[in-house]
Amino acid sequence: MILTVTLNTALDITYRVRSLRPHASHRVTDVAERPGGKGLNVARVLAALGHEVTVTGFTGGATGRAVQEHLTGTPEVVDALVPVDGSTRRTIAVVDDRTGDTTQLNEPGPTVTPAEWSAFQEAYDDLIASASAVALCGSLPPGVPVGAYAGLIRTAKAAGVPVLLDTSGEPLRRGVAARPDIVKPNADELAELTGSHEPVRATQDARRRGARAVVASLGAEGLLAATSEGRWRATPPASVHGNPTGAGDSTVAGLLSGLVERLPWPDRLARAVALSAATVLAPVAGEFDRGAYEELVGRVAVTGDVSAA
């Protein structure tokens, strides 16, 4: 079982409009709802790839109940979310059909009390014992300690469970110091962590700070990986346009599934890039176009220096 942690879960709502214009009223042509937050998106992709997944984090209020109702219809995904008194947030994606661009609106999460945080930690301790790997994903809701991910990483490592961390800012800085197996920042998050805007130097610096492997997402330029086995760059065969919501989460799912399946790094990176591109092409946030993925995965260019460590 793969465990994904989403401390700031969400209900993802996607609106489609013919053309998005500031200061104007719009007629919505289509509405879709999905369980959201980075770890839930990761779980959905992992399940589609054939893995058994358990999701945990926080859920509360009417929005939280809607998230859990949607999860019951997702095969191979087990709901182990922990209840809180506050209300789960919503994220709104507005897709402009004319341009294909997306505008994103993210609500804040509920305030988590010390007792609710303690209840989550107890649940996590129980779940990690049967996990083959864990992904710690996304922002921290108000009330959760800024060093939360660092503590969760140490718990997983004590249990011998590999950890992938995907977050930003101070939670990322503290989490990297706890020595996760993989961190997956985007270019801005990597620069904020290391102070360097040169990706090759920054990925190496992030490894020196504690991460065993760093996989940086460079948008349309693909992925750059620095690992103990070498350095690689994985590039998509062509630029894609669409809804980018969840594309980074599909990257995480590709990396984590490759880790569990013990794939070589070039194969993990090719899968991750293809899944990310196929997610941009999907009509709904947090899904991926399987046909596009199967067509793209064999065309991702992966180059590297396996002697570099």
The partner residues of 34 in beta bridges, in order of sequence, read 12
Among 79, 181, 249, 289, the one annotated catalytic: 249
Q: How far apart are CA 243 and CA 241, in angstroms?
A: 7
Q: Do residues 29 and 16 make contact, with C-beta atoms less than 8 angstroms apart?
A: yes
Name the E strands within 42-189. Answer: 53-59, 77-79, 82-83, 89-96, 102-106, 133-137, 163-166, 182-183
- CA 111 – CA 116 distance, rounded (Å): 10
In this structure, how many other beta carbons lie within 10 angstroms of the beta carbon of residue 107? 15
249 as an active site residue: the answer is: yes
Cα–Cα distance, 110 to 66 (Å, whole number): 15
Residue type, 168: S
Tokens of 282: 């999907």
Extract the tokens encoding 19. Answer: 């053309």
The neighbour count for residue 117, using CB atoms within 10 Å, is 18
Stretch (H or E) spanning 38: helix 38-48
- Pick from 176, 258, 169: nearest CA to 209: 176
Specify the DSSP element, H or E, that contains 31: strand 28-36
Distance of alpha carbon 297 from alpha carbon 81, whole angstroms: 33
Question: Both tokens of residue 169?
Answer: 């800012």
Distance CA 99, CA 267 (A): 33
Annotated catalytic residues are 249
